Structures are given as C-alpha cells and as structure tokens.
Amino acid sequence: MSFTPNPTAGTASGAGRCESLVEIEPVSDGAGLRIGIVLSRFNREIGEGLLSGCCQELRRLGVGEAVLATVPGALEIPLTLKTMAESGRFDALIALGCIIRGETYHFEIVANESARGITEVQLATGLPVANAILTTENDDQALVRMHQKGVEAAQVAIEMAHLLARLR
C-alpha cells in the first residue's frame, strides 16, 4: 500500500494525516447489540452506582436488553467474562467492580490480576470487554467516580463492538 503525504500535515486541519487514510468513524448506536455485564458484589454500593450509570447509558444509546451476572469479587470477573464470551451470545461485555486500597498488598494483587484477566479474555476470544473496575485509594474517590465510569463503560462497549465488527 502506498500513500501520498498530506501537504497539510502538522497543521491544525491535517495534523499528521495522509491523503489515503481511511478512518473508521466511531459508532455509538447500541440498537441490536447484545451486551453482557459482570458485576462484582464486593463494595456493593459502588458496584450499584457503576451499574446504574452503565444501564442508563446503554438505554440512552439504544441497547434493548443486557444480561447481568454477579460474582463475589473482582477476581471472579475474568472467568465469568470468558464463559460469556465463549457462549457466542454477546457482541461486547462490560466488567464492573471496585477495588479500594487497604493496608496490605492484597489491593495490588486483586487490581493487577483482575485487569490482566480481563485483557486475556479480550485477546483470547476477540470479544471487546469494557473494563470499569475502579481502583481507588478510598471510598470517597470511588463514590465520586462510580456513575461516570459506568457511563463510559457502556460507551466503550458499544463503540468497540461496532469497530471490531467492521474490521472483521
């Protein structure tokens, strides 16, 4: 594939782009998409806030119905996501939960391993997973972020479902 350099590259209107560039525009229409959600019951109040924001945004973007599975904690989320991904019933998945730093190293283990597991599910199955597992220093940080993070997870799931479908 060859391309002709864009003479406006580096300017505000053509910053670094080339003339032959075909951009896949983001799509935020959730109509017809099948969305699966996995919610950790640990830190329940935060999880419910994440879920509320997520469901409001899914409805706003046109998703008719989503399937919710709840699990005890963040470390159980990746296996549940993998099972859902392998079922072939979903176009995208969403992981919701909250890990709040405590006084031990356990926070790092749970945060790192749940994130690693979620990434592995996406790469192994090819199904997009929006990771909305909050990792915060305290309850107050989580409370401030929970609704918006849930909203963003819905947006990411829908956009990525459309992007991957178009790339296939």
Provide long-range contacts, Cβ within 8 A and 24+ apart, for 25-31.
26/159, 26/162, 26/163, 27/158, 27/159, 27/162, 27/163, 28/61, 28/155, 28/158, 28/159, 29/61, 29/62, 29/158, 29/162, 30/58, 30/61, 30/62, 30/63, 30/154, 30/158, 31/62, 31/63, 31/64
Contact 12, 69 (CB under 8 A): no
**Candidates 106, 112, 139, 144; catalytic one:** 106
Q: How many CA atoms lie within 13 A of 47 on its CB side?
A: 22
Has 147 been annotated as catalytic?
A: no
Catalytic residues: 106
